[in-house]
Structure 1
Amino acid sequence: MKKIIIMLSICASLFAQQTITWNRMHKPKVGKRDAFIRAVSDKTKKYNSKEGTAVIRTYQVINGPNVGSFVRGGLPGSWEQFDNPPSNRQTGRDYWRKNVMPYVEEAGAQKTWEVLTEVSYNGTGKNGPPKLYKVRYYHLKPGTSMFGLAGKIKEALVATKSEVRIGWYKLESGGDRSTWAVGTAHDTFESLGDDQTWRVAYEQHHGKGSLKEFMKEFGEVVQSNPHARFAENYRYRPDMSSPE
Structure 2
Amino acid sequence: MRKLMYLLFLIPMMVIAQDQSNEQYAVFENALLTPQPDKVQQFEQGLAAHNKKFHATEPYGVRVYYIANGPNVGKYIWAMGPIPWSAIDDRPADKAHDDDWINNVVKYMTADSDQTYWKFNSGLSNFAKDFKVDNLLVDMYDIKRYENERMMKAMEKVAKVMKEKYPDMTYGVYTNELPSTKDGRDLAMVFFFDEMGWMGEDSKFVENYNQVYGEKGWDDFMKEWKEISDGKQSELWKYQPELSGLGADVTASDRQ
Q: The TM-score by the shorter chain falls in which range? A: 0.7 to 0.9
CA contact (8 A) 1:62 1:233 kept: yes
In structure 2, runs of 5+ residues without a counterpart are 1-19, 248-256
Report the counterpart of residue 8 of structure 2 in structure 1: none
Shift of 1:201: 3.6
CA contact (8 A) 2:33 2:114 kept: no
Largest Rg, 1 or 2:
1
Report the counterpart of residue 233 of structure 1 in structure 2: 236
- Counterpart among 45, 61, 80 of residue 38 in structure 1: 45
Matches of 2:171 and 2:58, distance apart in 1: 28
Report the counterpart of residue 11 of structure 2 in structure 1: none
Establish whether residue 157 from structure 1 lines up as the match of residue 162 from structure 2: yes
Aligned residue for 1:105, secondary structure, equals coil
1:114 is aligned with what amino acid? K
Shift of 1:16: 2.7
Matches within 5 A, 1:188-199: 188-194=195-201, 196=203, 198-199=205-206
Matches within 5 A, 1:30-109: 30-49=37-56, 51=57, 54-86=60-92, 91-109=96-114
- Alignment deviations for residues 98-144 of structure 1 (CA, whole Å, 9 cap, x no partner): 11112112352321122222211234x1344x211111111111110
1:72 is aligned with what amino acid? W
Describe the shift of the 1:135–1:216 C-alpha distance in structure 2 as closer, same or farther (beyond 3 A).
same
Report the counterpart of residue 9 of structure 1 in structure 2: none
- Alignment deviations for residues 179-216 of structure 1 (CA, whole Å, 9 cap, x no partner): 22111111111113337365454233223331221111
CA contact (8 A) 2:60 2:83 kept: no
In structure 1, runs of 5+ residues without a counterpart are 1-12
- Counterpart among 172, 179, 200 of residue 177 in structure 2: 172
Matches of 2:29 and 2:177, distance apart in 1: 10
Describe the shift of the 1:19–1:204 C-alpha distance in structure 2 as closer, same or farther (beyond 3 A).
farther
- RMSD between aligned residues: 2.5
Shift of 1:97: 0.5
CA contact (8 A) 2:139 2:234 kept: yes
CA contact (8 A) 1:111 1:175 kept: no
Report the counterpart of residue 3 of structure 1 in structure 2: none
CA contact (8 A) 1:202 1:210 kept: yes
Matches of 1:215 and 1:95, distance apart in 2: 49
CA contact (8 A) 1:160 1:205 kept: no
Shift of 1:85: 2.3
1:147 is aligned with what amino acid? M
Q: TM-score, normalised by structure 2?
A: 0.78
Describe the shift of the 1:90–1:191 C-alpha distance in structure 2 as closer, same or farther (beyond 3 A).
farther
Describe the shift of the 1:54–1:77 C-alpha distance in structure 2 as closer, same or farther (beyond 3 A).
closer
Describe the shift of the 1:219–1:97 C-alpha distance in structure 2 as closer, same or farther (beyond 3 A).
same
CA contact (8 A) 1:153 1:198 kept: no
Greater CA drift, 13-22 or 156-165: 13-22
Moved over 6 A (4+): none
1:30 is aligned with what amino acid? P
Between the two proteins, what is the percent identity of the paired residues?
23
1:79 is aligned with what amino acid? W
Report the counterpart of residue 3 of structure 2 in structure 1: none
Describe the shift of the 1:40–1:214 C-alpha distance in structure 2 as closer, same or farther (beyond 3 A).
same
Matches of 1:175 and 1:14, distance apart in 2: 30
CA contact (8 A) 1:16 1:79 kept: no
Establish whether residue 114 from structure 1 lines up as the match of residue 131 from structure 2: no
Count of residue correspondences = 224
